[in-house]
Each structure stands twice: as C-alpha cells, then as structure tokens.
Copies of this chain bind each other. A is one copy, B any other.
Amino acid sequence: MINKVVSNIEKALQGVESNMTFMVGGFGLSGIPENSIAALSKMDVFGLTCISNNAGVDDFGLGLLLQRKQIKKMISSYVGENAEFERQMLSGELEVDLIPQGSLAERSRAAGAGIPAFFTPAGYGTEVAEGKEVREYNGKPHILESALTADFAFVKAWKGDTAGNLIFKGTARNFNPLMAMAGKITVAEVEELVPAGELDPNQIHTPGIFVQRIFQGEKYEKRIEQKTTRKRD
C-alpha cells in the first residue's frame, strides 16, 4: 500500500507558493477544507488564482484569503455572498472569471481524466462563449471547453484512510471528488482518518490514487449559511 498520510498541516502544505493556482472544494460553506484554508490564510503566499465554486463569506472560507488580499484571481460560478469580494471585484483589485457550474465541475473532472477539451451546450450565446469554438450536435449549438488544472487541490472528506481513499457525506461531496482528480498535488483533510482496509472498497468515492497527501483535520466549524427549518406539527 502507498501511504499518503502527512503528520501535520505544515507538511500537507509543503510546496505552496505565491502565484500558484489552487482548487478548493466545497459548495457555499458545505464541504470546504476548513483546516487547509485557515492555514493558507496565515501563510505569506499572495497572487493566488483560486478555482472554487464560491468565494466563501466575509469571515470564513475563502473570505479569509480575500481579506488578506492573497487572491489575485477567482474562477467561480457563484460569488454572491461576500461583500469584500464584491468590493475588490468592482474596484478591479480582484480578477474574476465566472463560469457555469456544470462546466466548472466537468472541466475539473476532465483535467483529472486526461480529457483536454469537450463540447457542452452550457453558455452558448452568452458572454461565456466569447472566443470559444461553436459546433452543432443533435441540432443544438455547443461550445468547446477545456480542462482546468491546478498546482494544488484542497479537498475535504468525511472519512479517509491511510491509502488516501475518501468517503464524503451528504451534499458536502459536491466539487471535492472532481478537484481531487484535477490537482497536481491533492491535499485531502478528513474528519476521521482510519487505517487502510477499514473502508469498504466498494464504497469509496475518491480512490487514493488521486490524493497525494491526507491528514485528519480538527475543530470543524461547518458553518450553515441559510438555516431553514419547518415547525413541528
């Protein structure tokens, strides 16, 4: 077995440098790599390009990196929950590339799967299609999208084993398995790290081959953005 365990967060982030491109898993604040983001927000790395569906909120998630102006460019699909983000974007401090959510997911997977480009109908006829090749299939125009790669991918899983295998829980899965595939170095943090052999090999979401480093995270806050409930009858 190939052991992917690193003993601490410093080792997990070894090699991280300014001007790199990072992928960061999560949807909203659900399933974000809290430990990795917190540690990155304390490092002196700047000029980062971050690929993440969202940009966190002002004081949590990628918002922490935005506060310190560590991010030069965001590649996201939806960024509507972050006042500091909006300020930096509208002032031109922050470069923003908005892309359709499905294309973000598929382009990440494509990178990991050795598919350099593919056709999708999403975005045809919109700003997103500008400069992109258009081709008709089944009577419908499609645009050519390319794979998205990153120097590091930071993902968060529910359980993981020492071989780097990951299992996610609920909708905290989202982009994590796809970004895990796409990262040149994929750093996985998990709520519970178990010895290889404990997870059912049939039930692993991300095979360890896609993960270069794994560690057990701590103090997960798992903040809820929109607490919605119903009354008991």
Contact = CB atoms under 8 A, between A and B. Distances in A.
Given A168-B202, A170-B202, A202-B168, A114 B118 contact: no
Given A169-B202, A202-B168, A202-B170, A116 B113 contact: no
A119 interface: yes
24 contacts: A106-B113, A110-B118, A114-B120, A114-B121, A115-B118, A115-B119, A115-B120, A116-B119, A116-B137, A116-B138, A116-B142, A117-B118, A117-B119, A117-B135, A117-B137, A117-B142, A118-B118, A118-B119, A137-B146, A167-B202, A168-B202, A169-B202, A170-B202, A203-B203
A52 B116 CA distance: 26
Interface residues of A, number: 22
A224 to B, nearest CB: 19
Interface string A138-168: 1000100010000000000000000000011
Contacts of A120: 114-115
A209 B189 CA distance: 31
Interface in A22-52: none
A88 to B, nearest CB: 32
A129 to B, nearest CB: 16
Contacts of A119: 115-118
A205 to B, nearest CB: 8
A202 B137 CA distance: 34
A114 B118 CA distance: 10
A22 B129 CA distance: 35
Contacts of A170: 202
Contacts of A138: 116
Nearest to A167: B202
A202 B158 CA distance: 11
A118 B117 CA distance: 6
A155 B167 CA distance: 25
